[in-house]
Structure 1
């Protein structure tokens, strides 16, 4: 017998596109068992299967309970997150986090637990990255940007209540976007000084996303907190936003910092 958490982890691996053979070898669970779970998941106890309203689908709309964590999670979701339907547990929200940043994975899981109405989340290890996953019937309520197709191929716009949260917690939103599709790097250049060529290094933040809408959400929020930025084209596509001015990098270092 396998508990529900084990079953959900196996199904999450399948949802990532892994084969039955691969998941069976990794988990030690037979292919027949996993196949049966794909068809029917045993119902949870009655109290757990009752769907209670979340902060957003009540008759009187309300904000998520932890709005600072939500602002950070919104940034992560717009960069590296996706919401998929589940046959018995509503939807699951998955955020992909590279193994290279264990602190980021911890922060992501903490935010997911804080925002999820059930306060549950877990990790699924894949090659080179961890998926931080949480199930809820209410993810489409909390992230109305969910929809068919890739984010950069459809309109991404914040609801007024989401914009209110971002306005109240702009640095958390910026941090989530940087943690998903951004980085802090060290650039270098050379200059002639008294006839001698010298090398100079300087830090820079970079954010890259194919969605014009998501880049604008990022740059508009940077404007509100006084961070200067420029657009760098990748070929003919302006996918990159660069923050290189000393004062702006200092602001980013204070409120965001490098991934860890």
Structure 2
């Protein structure tokens, strides 16, 4: 008798557990149903509005596009969904990169602006504009034949410039110009007696001799150019 009571209690306990489980499942199902009802109640106005707007937009373009074209486009979008997703991921990465580089680019732009302003204050741009004007004057002043002759004689010109820029030559020219600038304002006695007296100065005689030597060389070169045959003899 006692064993039968124990078995009956066990069955009652199992039955109560099943009833509790079924009650919990019913409660969960009711909660899910309420959530679906709330979602449908919330989504229906939105869906109706979306359908209305879609219908209005389709009415505006229905003469330009056919339903089969929309279907074909939709199928193509579905076929390339993975590529579209990859493209969107790349756009997100690009946007993140732009956000990262924006502060750096602002700093670089600010530094570049400051550097350009410094160059402008120092006159680099004004010098460049003047250089462009000089080049323009050169281009408009010389013909193609002049440029060709310049190219043929460029080595001789550079050698002449190199010789003229020797420190000794530049010092001599500078000292001569400074001395001439000082003496040009002084009174000059051009009488024969004054000239003869100046010839007694060794420096004057040396300068005169050097001048005559230079004149001799210039005259000899001019004679050689005018009489090439006799020069060869």
TM-score interval, normalised by the smaller of the two chains: under 0.3
TM-score (norm 1): 0.13
TM-score with structure 2 setting the length: 0.14
Which structure carries more helix by proportion?
2
More strand by share: 1
Higher relative contact order (CA 8 A, sep 6+): 1
